[in-house]
């Protein structure tokens, strides 16, 4: 069960509790739970209008929570990537990474993780996306590999990101260098 589904379930459980509270006679709740606090409970009893407002408030709150649960479930369904969506997203990530620049040279080595994370956020556009990426090791030329996949449908792709400039041939002073990204179907092998 995803976090979104868990949040929707909590909303529905709270809504059910509020609905039950709204169905129970508010006068009985007062006399059973709060009247003991007063020296003269009858003088401090809420008016019929106050009881009615408590009931209406509980019903409205239950309806809002129930609606929130359905909205969360809708977002969950909209943020799920099938195999074709994963391929499109990976192609978009590769195209965007090819336009990115990173610092390399001197004591600086490229931060590939940050570059991929930034581009993934631009591509997915939302925090509820089930599209994820995980580091999968280094390449022979100093680049990095990442596995991109959907939490629900799988469909892994191996993304390789490098600058094309080997660590041995890196400039003495930090300079901006372009990224080179490629992807292939299947998880990265270590």
The answer to whether the predicted template modeling score (pTM) of the entire model surpasses 0.75 is no
DSSP 8-state secondary structure symbol assigned to residue 4: H
Q: Which helix (H) or strand (E) holds 41?
A: helix 41-44
Q: What pLDDT, in 10s, does the model give residues 3-56? A: 778 899 999 999 999 999 888 888 888 888 888 888 898 888 889 999 999 999
Domain hosting 90: range is: 83-185
Count structural domains, the chain: 2
Residue 103 lies in a domain: yes
Choose the final residue of a domain: 43, 62, 78: 78
| Pair 99, 181 in one domain | yes
Give yes or no for residue 118 having a pLDDT over 90: no
Q: List, edge to edge, every strand of the sheet that includes 180-185.
A: 131-138, 144-150, 154-162, 180-185
């Amino acid at each position: 069960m995803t976090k979104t589904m868990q949040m929707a379930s909590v909303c529905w459980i709270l809504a059910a509790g509020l609905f039950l509270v709204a169905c129970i006679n508010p006068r009985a709740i007062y006399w059973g739970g709060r009247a003991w606090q007063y020296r003269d409970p009858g003088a401090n009893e809420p008016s019929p209008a106050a009881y009615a407002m408590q009931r209406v408030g509980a019903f409205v709150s239950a309806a809002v929570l129930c609606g929130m649960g359905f909205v969360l479930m809708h977002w969950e369904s909209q943020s799920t990537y099938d195999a074709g969506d994963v391929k499109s997203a990976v192609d978009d990530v590769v195209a965007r990474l090819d336009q990115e620049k990173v610092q390399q040279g001197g004591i600086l080595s490229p931060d590939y993780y940050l570059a991929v994370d930034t581009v993934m956020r631009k591509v997915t556009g939302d925090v509820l996306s089930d599209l994820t990426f995980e580091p999968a090791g280094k390449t022979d030329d100093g680049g990095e590999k990442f596995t991109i996949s959907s939490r629900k449908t799988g469909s892994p792709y191996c993304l390789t990101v490098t600058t094309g400039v080997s660590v041995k041939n890196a400039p003495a002073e930090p300079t901006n260098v372009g990224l080179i990204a490629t992807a292939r179907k299947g998880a990265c092998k270590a």
